[in-house]
Amino acid sequence: MPVLSDLVAAIASGSVEVIDLTAPLSAQTPILKLPEPLGQTWRFELHEISRFNEAGPAWYWNNIKTGEHTGTHLDAPIHWITGKDGADVSQLPARRLIAPAAVMDFTAEAAANPDFVLEIKHVEAWQKQHGPLPKGGWLLYRTGWAARSHDEDQFLNAGHTPGISVECAKWLAETAPVLGVGVETVGTDAGAAHSFDPAFPCHSFLLGHDKYGLTQLQNLAKLPPLGAVVFVGPLPIVRGSGSPCRALALVERR
């Protein structure tokens, strides 16, 4: 397989760089908070089993407690009512977990207006400049929000976080050739998306069209607008609606 041996050589030489898009997973990792009486996701927790002590003299290990939607994670179609008969996170075709990415930078817009929403016209303008969206690939939406991820209050910003408009989410789901949308924020939808019609349009349209969401990404600034290949590794939780995941990107350096 010359392609794979070339890839291995390129990674070893650094001509293909591996970028980690994943946020560190700890009890401090910001989580989504929903208003009462809605249920809440859990923070990530480590519970020590043993650490070179009576419970395990030569070994250190932990149990973990986490929500499926805690930290950098993937939303599977079954997560939303529009996709309720769709794939759970264990059923995602492995082939779709390796995909090209289009990376769109709206950091300046989100800094000026935390409620900024991506519109179809923005994606069309990006395509004029860079070329068509890669078929079966991710739209990775840069907003600079990862820079706030060390502080939950800044990250959640009292519900004012950037997202995607209803029209654009519908278009990405029904018309654009994308596999899904990846964001830096706590969820794929805008902080104000509970008040959109329909509410949470990214979740509603994309998951209803067998597409995926990917959240709390970091290091998107290290990716080119086109050309990166993203590997996403959600746990194959049977009947799971999503999973914390590792997301890595391969980037060619010339």
- Degrees to nearest 5, angle at CA 247 with 246 and 251: 145
Catalytic residues, which ones? 79
Query: Contact region for Mn ion (CB under 5 A) — 5-13, 73-81, 99-107, 108-116?
Result: 73-81
Residue 69 binding Mn ion, by CB under 5 A: yes
Window 84 to 143, contacts with Mn ion (CB under 5 A):
none
**For Mn ion, the closer CB: 69 or 122:** 69
Q: Based on the number of CB atoms within 10 Å of its own CB, is 102 exposed (0-12), middle (13-18) or buried (19 or more)? A: buried
**For Mn ion, the closer CB: 80 or 116:** 80
**For Mn ion, the closer CB: 69 or 209:** 69
Could you give the 3-state DSSP secondary structure of residue 106?
coil
Query: Contact region for Mn ion (CB under 5 A) — 55-63, 71-79, 136-144, 177-185?
Result: 71-79
Q: How many helices, marked H, and strands, marked E, lie in the chain?
A: 7, 12
Applying CB under 5 A, the site for Mn ion has a residue count of 2
**For Mn ion, the closer CB: 75 or 184:** 75
Q: If we measure between CA atoms, which residue out of 195, 94, 219, 87 comes closest to residue 144?
A: 219
DSSP letter at 131 equals: -
Could you tell me the smallest distance in angstroms from the CB atom of residue 172 to Mn ion? 17
Beta-carbon neighbour count of residue 125 at 10 Å?
12
Query: Contact region for Mn ion (CB under 5 A) — 14-22, 63-71, 143-151, 169-177?
Result: 63-71
Residue 75 binding Mn ion, by CB under 5 A: yes
Instruction: Report CA-CA distances (Å) from 212 to 172, 183, 229.
Output: 11, 11, 16
Residue 148 binding Mn ion, by CB under 5 A: no
Residue 189 binding Mn ion, by CB under 5 A: no
Exposure string of 152-189, with b = 16+ CB inside 10 Å and e = fewer, is beebbbeeebbbbbbebbbbbbeebebbbbbbbbbbbb
Residue 211 binding Mn ion, by CB under 5 A: no
Interaction site with Mn ion (CB under 5 A): 69, 75
